């Protein structure tokens, strides 16, 4: 397996584009993206568990109920959520795709992101559709820009790998910076692959993967109304179709995981106002559930996130987060360390503090990527969670997000 260029256009048969159509006032910001496949593709998706759901999710779920799709359209700047005519607008977006590309409206995945409860006018989308479709090509980067809201960097990745001696490719783009605390996926993620795989196995691969990837990311503790991860697999690589859980399925799952883990790290590191990526690695747990519970609790602690912003080795906040996590752990066995490109520093052994250099701690914690290492010393299970520091800018960004 190797990383390649091309993002969502790396896999055979996929094209993409992103434009500014006028949903957002800032004309330098792209706000409409389109992804298409030459042929109908197996499709799988996971959706937010928030009871308040964006209309595009409802429409998408109906469109891919048969296990197939051929295009994805997504707008930014408006979430199309809590709107009386939200379903109608989402359906109209798919109809516009059909008119511009010839792809059936019933094979279109629809997504929206941005402000909740704001009426979405179909006019700019309709006016921009011809330009959007005409510009379809090897433009994963433009599509990645078109789905961004408060994101500060594009999030895209692609890898190549072999299945049965056939070269296959998989790529993805994502958006997510604030309102990130998924219980299924994360803001918006679109993944494309030329692997031939049965829809039911594609869904199983995705549903299994997100439990240890996107569900282990948290920026601010808020679960979005529009969270969705979608995978399209068009089979154009030419491999023997994966229709059972064999070695080929395992290889596909491995490739999918390499893409999702990369996007998880990019999303966490680009949290609203964030200056640092935090990765909590828990080892020595009695079972995976315990490891995940501990890792997620640590990464969600506002006090710890604030300490990491200030490069303060306040390790007691790690133990505090473990203590209220609900996990059944022996607090007298816990070891804690901080690690970055500047080295590793042990700060707690068997649940008690040990002497350490504050100067060395500051040096380690001033880095852009910090690992919080938690050893529970009670078993062999492990888990990883991703988050970011909590800064003054987070409040500034969200204090006037709508206005």
Domains for the chain: give ranges and CATH numbers: 2-269 (3.60.70.12), 277-399 (3.10.20.340)
| 242: helix, strand or coil | strand
If you average pLDDT over residues 115-122, what whole number do you get? 93
pLDDT at 185 over 50: no
The predicted-structure confidence for 371-393, as pLDDT tens digits, reads as follows 999 999 999 999 999 999 999 88
Q: If DSSP states are collapsed to H, E and C, what string results for 244-302? A: CCCHHHHHHHHHHHHHHHHHHHHHHHCCCCCCCEEEEEEEEECCHHHHHHHHHHHHHCH
If you average pLDDT over residues 151-179, what whole number do you get? 92
Active-site choice (113, 186, 193, 290)? 186
The predicted-structure confidence for 120-155, as pLDDT tens digits, reads as follows 999 999 999 999 999 999 999 999 999 998 888 899
Q: Round to whole Å and give the CA distance between 13 and 7.
A: 13
pLDDT at 188 over 60: yes
Give residue 223's pLDDT band: very low, low, confident or very high (50, 70, 90).
low
pLDDT at 184 over 90: no
Percent of the chain at pLDDT > 70 equals: 96
Model pLDDT, residue 181:
65
CA distances from 290 to 194, 322, 324, 350 (A): 36, 10, 13, 18
Q: pTM here?
A: 0.89
Q: Round to whole Å and give the CA distance between 197 and 43.
A: 10
- Residue 360, class by beta-carbon neighbours within 10 Å (0-12 exposed, 13-18 middle, 19+ buried)? middle
* Whether residue 186 lies in the annotated active site: yes
Model pLDDT, residue 398:
78
Residue pair 137/17 in contact (Cβ under 8 Å)? The answer is: yes
If you average pLDDT over residues 56-70, what whole number do you get? 97
Percent of the chain at pLDDT > 90 equals: 85
Model pLDDT, residue 158:
98
If you average pLDDT over residues 291-320, what whole number do you get? 96
Arithmetic mean of pLDDT over the chain: 94
Q: How far, rounded to the nearest angstrom, does the alpha carbon of residue 290 sit from its chain's CA centroid?
A: 23
Give residue 182's pLDDT band: very low, low, confident or very high (50, 70, 90).
low
Model pLDDT, residue 322:
98
What are the structure tokens assigned to 390, written together? 């909590």
Q: Round to whole Å and give the CA distance between 280 and 327.
A: 16
Give residue 396's pLDDT band: very low, low, confident or very high (50, 70, 90).
confident
pLDDT at 186 over 60: no
pLDDT at 195 over 90: yes
């Amino acid at each position: 397996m190797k990383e390649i260029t091309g993002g969502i256009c790396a896999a055979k048969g996929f094209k993409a584009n992103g434009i500014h159509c006028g949903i957002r006032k800032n004309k330098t910001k792209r706000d409409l993206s389109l992804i298409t496949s030459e042929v109908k593709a197996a499709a799988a998706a996971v959706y937010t568990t928030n009871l308040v759901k964006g209309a595009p999710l409802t429409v998408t779920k109906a469109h891919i109920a048969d296990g197939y799709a051929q295009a994805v359209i997504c707008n930014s700047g408006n979430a199309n959520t809590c709107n009386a005519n939200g379903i109608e607008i989402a359906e109209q977006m798919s109809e516009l795709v059909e008119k511009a590309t010839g792809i059936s409206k019933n094979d279109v995945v629809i997504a929206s992101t941005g402000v909740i409860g704001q009426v979405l006018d179909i006019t700019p989308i309709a006016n921009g559709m011809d330009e959007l479709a005409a510009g379809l090509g090897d433009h994963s980067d433009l599509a990645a820009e078109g789905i961004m809201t408060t994101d500060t960097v594009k999030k895209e990745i692609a890898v190549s790998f072999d299945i049965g001696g056939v070269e296959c490719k998989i790529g993805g783009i994502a958006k997510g910076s604030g309102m990130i605390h998924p219980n299924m996926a994360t803001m918006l993620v679109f993944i494309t692959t030329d692997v031939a795989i049965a829809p039911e196995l594609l869904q199983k691969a995705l549903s299994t993967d997100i439990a240890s990837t996107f569900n282990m990311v948290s920026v601010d503790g808020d679960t979005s109304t529009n969270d969705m991860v979608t995978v399209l697999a068009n089979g154009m690589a030419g491999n023997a179709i994966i229709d059972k859980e064999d070695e080929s399925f395992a290889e596909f799952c491995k490739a999918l995981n390499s893409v999702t883990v990369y996007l998880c790290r990019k999303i966490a590191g680009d949290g609203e106002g964030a200056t640092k990526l935090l990765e909590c690695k828990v080892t020595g747990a009695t079972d995976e559930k315990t490891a995940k519970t501990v890792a997620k609790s640590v990464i969600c602690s506002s006090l710890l996130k604030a300490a990491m912003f200030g490069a303060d080795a306040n390790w007691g906040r790690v133990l505090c987060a473990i203590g209220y996590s609900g996990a059944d752990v022996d607090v007298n066995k816990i070891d804690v360390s901080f690690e970055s490109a500047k080295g590793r520093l042990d700060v707690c052994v068997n649940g008690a503090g040990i002497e350490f250099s504050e100067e060395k701690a500051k040096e380690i914690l001033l880095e852009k990527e910090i690992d919080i290492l938690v050893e529970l010393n009670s078993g062999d299970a492990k888990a990883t969670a991703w988050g970011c520091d909590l800064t003054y800018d987070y409040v500034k960004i969200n204090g006037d997000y709508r206005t």
